[in-house]
A and B are shown apart, each in its own frame.
Chain A
């Protein structure tokens, strides 16, 4: 029972099935954050007294933890941010704006769409969108055509769709992009909660990660930047902690990662994030993936028995999230009623309006699992859905 490691499940009666939005936190993560605030709260990289040194050491150790976790060659390639949204905005503004074309996919969430719009890019005007097929699979033929017409582009693609749980074959996406001399950023918001990642094996150039979707605290995330690009990425913001020397005429910046981490960071959050990675490592992805597959198949099997249910993709090449609707029933109505029955899931467009528009729907009901969920959780969900359907009939 993994739930025993998570205080939330002791304190709440809710059947929590909204893990794609955020995950619950293990006790070790909560303790690590509390420990920092209660026992050695001091700023990092500035003062040199004992607690400040301890804070700096733990913060930098967290960087090494994340480096090892994703098998990055150097710790300088790991930059802590507020989360995936900040990571994408950072790279969009500090690096990708130099590219004539940016290529995304039709399954992106808003965090990987609006930063490009803010640069004045729209469909075919600086922005190209790779379509997906009827099963929401990434269309490699369309992708290659776009790359052929637009070599030397910046490719920014989600690893796992938050709305439908669809896994993109990012290794193949990266290889093809490199063949056409393009640079790739992967939005890995949903990845680390479900599968192990090796940035060297993937040969990815930029890799945006989330703390809170990976059992870590909110307000923390990171971006991996392949070493060869570190000097080409401009600073997004500067100020305290980024500076080598300043006079009133000019400033010189430190090297990466410090020049990219302006101001006081979310120190407790970063330390907590590292604890979440430790927690995952101790369990091991083999066990996590096995447990999730059992749950995912059970969820699909049980949902499929419900009348008039409509899915948008099969569960092949998918993980975590299952998205669906019921014929002639609003997802909002279902959301309100299952909430009354203490089941937490998400209804709506899941911050991915373009794909919803493409599917000609306003939104879906999304159940998103984590390894700590159980078959009992799914049984409770099904019971609540049946009751809601009866009430709305």
Chain B
């Protein structure tokens, strides 16, 4: 199991703890509130994630052979999802990120918000993360 797969499993376990769907989203809202603020200077058009109905910004930093991500959104639940995605993918090796399978996030069971439709911001984020890795 790669470190990314391991982190997905950990988050899945956290989310599976909630039997009630609304409680799960309360938890995601709380995660959104925990997300570190992204400085205004990073909220530029090139950092916008395409495919989001809400505004999502994603910033990448390279240290040694690893990529670190920062991001935020103007919607609270989406912020929570950004928190989850950053936790899964940040601090990963470029090689591992290049090989990321988009389907990995479906395991989180958030199919209503992480859908393969054209408005899915989460898929857009992972695509952008992969692009950063391929360019790094």
| Chain A residues with a Cβ under 8 A of chain B | 329-330, 332-333, 336-337, 339-341, 347-349, 362-363, 387, 391-392
> Is A337 in contact with B53, judged by CB distance below 8 angstroms?
no
Residues of B within 8 A of A363 (CB): 53
**Contact B26–A330 (Cβ < 8 Å):** no
Say how far A388's CB is from chain B's closest CB, in angstroms: 9
Closest 4 CB pairs of A and B: A330-B75, A332-B75, A332-B54, A333-B77
Q: List, in ascending order, chain A residues with CB within 8 A of B76's CB.
A: 329-330, 333, 392
Q: How many angstroms from the CA of A340 to the CA of B24 in the assembled complex?
A: 10
A-B contact pairs, 29 of them (CB 8 A): A329-B76, A330-B54, A330-B74, A330-B76, A330-B77, A330-B78, A332-B54, A332-B77, A333-B75, A333-B77, A333-B78, A336-B25, A337-B25, A339-B112, A340-B21, A340-B22, A341-B22, A347-B53, A348-B119, A362-B54, A362-B55, A362-B74, A363-B53, A387-B22, A391-B22, A391-B25, A391-B26, A391-B29, A392-B29
Nearest Cβ in chain B — how far from A31, in angstroms?
A: 31
If A340-B21, A347-B53, A363-B53 are given as contacts, then 19 extra A-B residue pairs at C-beta distance below 8 Å, sorted by A number, are A330-B74, A330-B76, A330-B77, A332-B54, A332-B75, A332-B77, A333-B75, A333-B78, A336-B77, A336-B112, A337-B25, A339-B112, A340-B22, A362-B53, A362-B74, A391-B22, A391-B26, A392-B29, A392-B76
Contact across chains for B25 and A340 when beta carbons are under 8 A apart: yes
Q: When A347-B53, A348-B53, A362-B54 are in contact, do A332 and B78 touch as well, CB less than 8 Å?
A: yes
In chain B, what residue has the closest Cβ to A330? B75
Cβ of A387: which chain B residues have Cβ within 8 Å of it? 22
Q: From residue A96, how far is it (CB to closest CB) to chain B in Å? A: 28
CA A363 – CA B55 in complex, angstroms? 11
Taking CB as reference atom, which chain B residue is nearest A337? B25
Chain B residues in 8 Å Cβ range of A340:
21-22, 25, 112
Max chain A Cβ within 10 angstroms of own Cβ: one of B26, B53, B55, B73: B53
Shortest distance from the beta carbon of B74 to any chain A beta carbon, whole Å: 6
**Residues of the B chain whose Cβ atoms lie less than 8 Å from the Cβ of A332:** 53-54, 75, 77-78
Task: For residue B43, give the distance in angstroms from its CB to the closest CB of chain A.
Answer: 14
Q: Which residues of A contact B31 (CB under 8 A)?
A: none
Residue B113 CB within 8 A of the other chain: yes
Contact A336 B22 (CB under 8 A): no
**B21 cross-chain contacts in A, Cβ below 8 A:** 340
A347 to B52, CA, bound (A): 12
Count residues of chain B with CB under 8 A from any CB of chain A: 17
In the complex, residue of chain B having the shortest beta-carbon distance to the beta carbon of A340? B21
Task: Compute how far the CA of A343 lies from the CA of B71 in the bound complex, rounded to whole angstroms.
Answer: 30
Quote the shortest CB–CB distance from B72 to chain A (angstroms): 12
Give the distance in Å from the alpha carbon of A340 to the alpha carbon of B113 in the complex.
11
Residues in chain B near residue A330, CB distance under 8 A: 54, 73-78
Give chain A residues whose Cβ lies under 8 Å from the Cβ of B55: 362
- The smallest beta-carbon distance between A191 and chain B, in angstroms, is 27
Contacting residues, chain B, for A329 (C-beta < 8 A): 76
Contacts of B74 in A (CB 8 A): 330, 362
Q: Which A residues are CB-close (under 8 A) to B29?
A: 391-392
A337 touches B119 (CB 8 A): no
B77 vs chain A, min Cβ distance (A): 5
Complex: A347 Cα to B77 Cα, angstroms: 14
For B26, list chain A residues within 8 Å (CB): 391
What CA separation (Å) do A349 and B119 show in the bound complex? 11
In the complex, the answer to whether A337 meets B78 with C-beta atoms within 8 Å is: no
Interfacial chain A residues near B53, Cβ < 8 Å: 332, 347-349, 362-363
Q: In the bound complex, what is the Cα–Cα distance between A341 and B21 (angstroms)?
A: 9
List the A side residues contacting B113 at CB < 8 Å: 336
Q: Could you tell me the distance between the alpha carbons of A337 and B29 in the complex, rounded to whole angstroms?
A: 11
Give the shortest distance, in Å, between B28 (CB) and chain A (any CB).
9
Residue of B nearest to A392 (CB): B76
Residues facing A in B18-37 (CB within 8 A) are 21-22, 25-26, 29
Most chain A beta-carbon neighbours within 10 Å: one of B21, B22, B54, B113: B54
Contact partners of A347 in chain B: CB under 8 A:
53
Minimum Cβ distance to chain B for residue A22 (Å): 15
The answer for the CA separation of A349 and B54 in the assembled complex, in Å, is 10
- Nearest CB in chain B: distance from A343 CB, A: 13
Q: Cα distance A114–B26 when bound, in Å?
A: 39
